Amino acid sequence: MEIWINPACSKCRSAISVLDAEGADYTVRRYLEDVPSADEIRDVLARLGLEPWDITRTQEAAAKELGLKEWPRDAEARERWIAALAEHPKLIQRPIITADDGTALVARTDEAVRDALSR
């Protein structure tokens, strides 16, 4: 299992605390330093069953600068969104856990982290 985190994020720190309390075996990826490629983002999206706009933090300064709220949310615009996430990783919702069963989830609650552990 791998968890994508921003150490400055309270939700990420909480998720790590739950994983540690449960004795989970996991790898931490500080995705602002170890930036996921477009292919890795596509893979995580497939595992999540979501589209790139579903995991985009639209309130971030970079999102506002790019005008993301006005971008179309359709198949034709999908690659543009993925490229934006790869270029501006701070826009990626966090934390994301890739579970051992091949799925992934955005683990913003303790319940979501425990769900990932049960997979």
Q: Tens of pLDDT along the chain (119 residues)?
A: 999 999 999 999 999 999 999 999 999 999 999 999 999 999 999 999 999 999 999 999 999 999 999 999 999 999 999 999 999 999 999 999 998 899 999 999 999 999 999 98
Place of tokens 């989970």: 24
Output helix, strand, coil percentages for the chain, rounded to the nearest 5: 50, 15, 35
For residues 17 and 19, what is the distance between their CA atoms, to the nearest angstrom? 5
- pLDDT at position 1: 94
Report the predicted TM-score, pTM, of the whole model to 2 decimal places.
Answer: 0.94
Contact 26, 77 (CB under 8 A): no
Catalytic member of 1, 3, 6, 9: 9
Query: Is 12 annotated in the active site?
Result: no
Nearest to 41 by CA among 91, 79, 96, 82: 82
